[in-house]
Amino acid sequence: MDSFMSDKTSKIFIAGHRGLVGSAIVRKLNQIGFTNLILKTHSELDLTRQSDVESFFAQEKPDYVILAAAKVGGIHANNTYPADFISINLQIQTNVINSSYINGVKKILFLGSSCIYPKMAPQPITEDALLTGPLEPTNEWYAVAKIAGIKMCQAYRLQYNWDAISDAFSGMPTNLYGPNDNFHPENSHVLPALMRRFHEAKVSGAKEVVVWGTGSPLREFLHVDDLADAVVFLMEKYSGLGHVNVGSGKEVTIKELAEIVKEVVGFEGELVWDSTKPDGTPRKLMDSSKLAALGWAPKISLKDGLVDTYKWYLEYLKQ
Ligand X SMILES: NC(=O)C1=CN([C@@H]2O[C@H](COP(=O)(O)OP(=O)(O)OC[C@H]3O[C@@H](n4cnc5c(N)ncnc54)[C@H](OP(=O)(O)O)[C@@H]3O)[C@@H](O)[C@H]2O)C=CC1
Q: Which residues are catalytic?
A: 142
CB of 182 to ligand X, least distance (A): 5
Q: Which is nearer to ligand X, 42 or 299 (CB)?
A: 42
| Region 178-197 residues binding ligand X, contact defined as CB under 6 A | 182, 189
State the SS3 of the chain.
CCCHHHCCCCCEEEECCCCHHHHHHHHHHHHCCCCCEECCCCCCCCCCCHHHHHHHHHHHCCCEEEECCCCCCCHHHHHHCHHHHHHHHHHHHHHHHHHHHHCCCCEEEEECCHHHCCCCCCCCECHHHCCCCCCCHHHHHHHHHHHHHHHHHHHHHHHHCHHHHCEEEEEEECEEECCCCCCCCCCCCHHHHHHHHHHHHHHHCCCEEEEECCCCCEEEEEEHHHHHHHHHHHHHHCCCCCCEEECCCCEEEHHHHHHHHHHHHCCCCEEEEECCCCCCCCECCECCHHHHHHCCCCCCCHHHHHHHHHHHHHHHHHC
Distance in Å from the first CA to the final CA of the chain:
44
Please work out the total of residues on this chain that contact ligand F7E, with binding judged by CB under 6 A.
Answer: 27
How many CB atoms are closer than 10 A to CB 242? 13
Q: With binding defined as CB under 6 A, does residue 305 bind ligand F7E?
A: no
Q: With binding defined as CB under 6 A, does residue 280 bind ligand F7E?
A: yes
Which amino acid does the sequence have at 308?
A: D
Q: Which is nearer to ligand F7E, 156 or 267 (CB)?
A: 267
Q: Which is nearer to ligand F7E, 105 or 244 (CB)?
A: 244
Of 25-33, 91-99, 100-108, 274-282, which part binds ligand F7E (CB under 6 A)?
274-282
Q: With binding defined as CB under 6 A, does residue 223 bind ligand X?
A: no
The partner in contact with residue 48, picked from ligand X, ligand F7E, none with C-beta cut-offs of 5 to 8 angstroms by kind, is: ligand X
The partner in contact with residue 69, picked from ligand F7E, ligand X, none with C-beta cut-offs of 5 to 8 angstroms by kind, is: ligand X
**4 closest CA partner among 226, 166, 247, 170:** 166
CB of 176 to ligand X, least distance (A): 4
Q: With binding defined as CB under 6 A, does residue 234 bind ligand X?
A: no
**17 closest CA partner among 8, 26, 28:** 26
Q: With binding defined as CB under 6 A, does residue 18 bind ligand X?
A: yes
Q: With binding defined as CB under 6 A, does residue 280 bind ligand X?
A: no
| Region 98-157 residues binding ligand F7E, contact defined as CB under 6 A | 113, 115, 138-139, 142
Which amino acid does the sequence have at 305?
A: G
User: How far apart are the C-alpha atoms of 55 and 90, rounded to whole Å?
Assistant: 19
Q: Which is nearer to ligand X, 152 or 201 (CB)?
A: 152
User: Closest residue (Cβ) to ligand F7E?
Assistant: 74
The partner in contact with residue 126, picked from ligand F7E, ligand X, none with C-beta cut-offs of 5 to 8 angstroms by kind, is: none
User: Closest residue (Cβ) to ligand X?
Assistant: 19
Among 109, 129, 147, 254, binds ligand F7E (CB under 6 A): 254
Mask: binding to ligand F7E, 208-227, rule CB under 6 A, as x and -?
A: ---xxx---x-x--------
Residues that bind ligand F7E (CB under 6 A): 73-76, 78, 113, 115, 138-139, 142, 175, 188-190, 193-194, 211-213, 217, 219, 254, 277-281
Give contact residues for ligand X (rule: CB under 6 A).
Answer: 16, 18-22, 42, 46-48, 68-72, 92, 111, 113, 173, 175-176, 182, 189
